[in-house]
Amino acid sequence: MKITSLTFLCLTAFAVQAHASSSDAWATYDKDVLARCTQASTLKKATPVGTPAQFDDRVGYTAILLQGQYPQKHMKGRQGTELCLFNKQSKVAYVTEWDSIRPVGKAQ
């Protein structure tokens, strides 16, 4: 079977488009995870720390660390950290406080 240069060019273009749409799909997914996690967060001005951790589909979750300020008056604007687990199937975000992940203002 002889592959012409036109056929090869078409197949190459198709492969590049498939890869590009995959990147676009991941970017859209990451935006959705971040939006749902920040909505579920109890922190003010919650922002991601690093990039999402994509667990295997057998686990079914994406994890993202969020940082922001506690809204309670008695917390006096203290920084807080939360872990968000996003269920890939149900598209529900679950958030828990996780300040123990980082040391808080230790004097050196």
State the burial class of residue 69 (Cβ atoms within 10 Å of its Cβ: 0-12, 13-18, 19+): middle
Query: What pLDDT score does 77 carry?
Result: 86
How many CB atoms are located within 10 Å of the residue 43 CB? 19
Query: What pLDDT score does 105 carry?
Result: 56
Domain boundaries, the chain: 5-101
**CA 49 – CA 65 distance, rounded (Å):** 5
Query: What pLDDT score does 100 carry?
Result: 87
**CA 36 – CA 51 distance, rounded (Å):** 15
**pLDDT by residue, tens only, the chain of 108 residues:** 454 444 433 444 444 444 456 889 989 999 999 999 999 999 999 999 999 999 999 999 999 999 999 999 998 989 999 999 999 999 999 999 998 886 655 543
| Side chain identity, residue 97 | E
What does the block give as tokens for 107? 């004097």
Query: What pLDDT score does 18 carry?
Result: 44
Query: What pLDDT score does 65 carry?
Result: 96
Coil, helix or strand for 107?
A: coil
Query: What pLDDT score does 103 carry?
Result: 60
- Count H helices and E strands in the chain, helices first: 1, 4
